[in-house]
Amino acid sequence: MKRATIRGKPFGLGHAALVLLSMFSVPARVSWGQAYVVTDLGTLGGPSSAAYDINESGRVVGWAKNAGDPNFPNDPAYQYKRGFLYEDGVMSGIGTLGGDESWAYGVNESGQIAGEALAFGALNFKRAFFWEDGVMTDLGTLGGPYAFAWDINDVGQVVGSAAPDQFQGQAFLWQDGVMTDLGTLGGNSSYAYGINNAGQVVGWARYTTNTKRHAFLWQSGVMTDLGTFGGTLSEGWDINQAGQVVGWAETSSGAWHAFKWESGVLSDLGTLGGTHSLAYGINDRGAVVGKSYTEGDPGTYAAFLWDGEALVNLNSLIDPNLGWVLNQGRSINNLGQIVGAGTIDGESHAFLMTPIYALTVTEYNEDLGDVVIDPEPNDVNAPAFLAGTEVTLTAEPIEGKSFSHWLIYDANHPGDSNYAAEDSNDSIVITMDADRAVQARFSCASGLAPILPVSLVGLGAGLVRRRRRS
């Protein structure tokens, strides 16, 4: 049987940008790139912002400068950093603890936020906070004047560093109003940056010399040194639900390299061609984001994504005509959405990158049924869905024939039936969390008919019906 195959380009360009823009009734700039849609999260009225974390529902936290004192318009001395929550296309400030500034660093699935804020009026000490439903709560300290919080898990446990005295901070774990000192590796200070839902904590701690620090993994009261690449410095920044840790470690030559640690093995992720790289975030699929110098060490970092094999410059995955220079990736969720900070129009702004996932569309000359796809594809030559889009597929066999089943291919093994799940329902819903492949199979008198592969990719609203050829 002669077969006509349409190969869908993975990522659409051109007029699709106008379709995409119409979906967002928000002031933020949204740009259609090559592999990602890039959203400028804007500011709180000032010139700059940075994003630090994103949860699975797409809530983003970070800091942004406000407009400042109306009596001193555009005066940087009166433009303060304020922690923000970005949700449903809107950036909102979350307040302070009485001082001028705040920073939001971690958000969990419930929308609870951890960070630090200035307090105590003129003294302006930084204090760790827990934010929920518009209320910011001071977490206290370990006896000294200040504390910082960096991450929060879905249980509501918060980690950071707090002062037991005037000078040195100690990593802490806070839960239900109680702050616990996690100790050090033998030195006089430590700092916790990340925590997973199992309560495993990562950060850095000084060891016996008190002058150098190593990345650590803390669990069940035990702090483990994760080592270095031959140097004297390392820091752990994030940990996923599988217990994989990312951060950076010093080499014997003094360079800092991003690392991934798993089951006692510290792996060097390399750089983008320059001397230094640092990893800040990892999702449950093992994808890593951070920043790296590029070849020649130009003095500014480029944001990267580690895909399991090599570092990829995130700037190479977007249209260079958009005007963005992406400087650092700070967090990545399981949909593959990335947040961080970059430069656009001469200002440093928080960004959100949302992947575009796609499939190949194939049709046969003799079709035994139709498949209705909702939402409809925006372009059959370059069909694409934003990450997280739910696609409904409905099979409609022609008269005298019947629908048999769907083959839903594993995202990591598209086209390989050994990894395909079957579903006999006429209608199924697929969440686009990766490039996806689905086949609809219709039955005829002679047995199983030729396969009608179906595209899951599209952007927009409404229905599309793949018609039989006459």
Task: Please say whether the dihedral angle defined by the alpha carbons of residues 161, 165, 166 and 168, taken in this order, is positive or negative.
Answer: negative
Q: Note the pLDDT of residue 357.
A: 87
Cis omega (within 30 of 0) for bond into 375 = yes
Q: Note the pLDDT of residue 95.
A: 96
CA distance 313 to 7: 26
CA distance 433 to 438: 14
Domain 359-465 is of which CATH architecture? Sandwich (2.60)
CA distance 104 to 82: 8
CA distance 307 to 314: 11
Q: What is the pLDDT along the chain (470 residues), one digit of tens a residue?
A: 222 122 222 222 222 332 232 222 222 343 333 589 999 999 999 999 999 999 999 999 999 999 877 777 777 777 899 999 999 999 999 999 999 999 999 999 999 999 999 986 546 689 999 999 999 999 999 999 999 999 999 999 999 999 987 678 999 999 999 999 999 999 999 999 999 999 999 999 999 777 789 999 999 999 999 999 999 999 999 999 999 999 999 999 999 999 999 999 999 999 999 999 999 999 999 999 999 999 988 888 999 999 898 999 999 999 888 999 999 999 999 999 999 999 999 999 999 999 988 755 444 334 788 878 888 766 655 567 889 988 888 888 888 888 888 888 887 777 788 888 999 999 999 888 888 888 888 887 444 445 555 544 433 333 344 433 33
Spell 62-81 as b/e; 16+ CB within 10 A means b. Answer: bbbbbebeeeeeeeeebbbb
The length of the chain is 470
Q: So what CATH class is 16-357?
A: mainly beta
Q: What string of DSSP letters covers 5-41?
A: EE---SS--TTHHHHHHHT--SSS-EEE-SSEEEEEE
Phi first, then psi, for residue 18 (nearest 5°) are -70, -40
Distances (CA, A) of 277 to 218, 288, 293, 330: 24, 12, 6, 13
CA distance 163 to 36: 42
Amino acid at 411: A
For residue 340 the two structure tokens come to 């961080």
Q: Which residues contact 148 (CB under 8 A, 6 or more apart)?
A: 116, 126, 128, 160, 161, 162, 169, 191
User: How far from chain centre, in Å, is Cα 345?
Assistant: 24
CA distance 79 to 116: 18
328: number of Cβ within 10 Å: 24
Task: Please say whether the dihedral angle defined by the alpha carbons of residues 420, 422, 425 and 431, taken in this order, is positive or negative.
Answer: negative
- Domain ranges in the chain are 16-357, 359-465
Do residues 236 and 261 lie in contact, with contact meaning Cβ atoms separated by under 8 Å?
yes
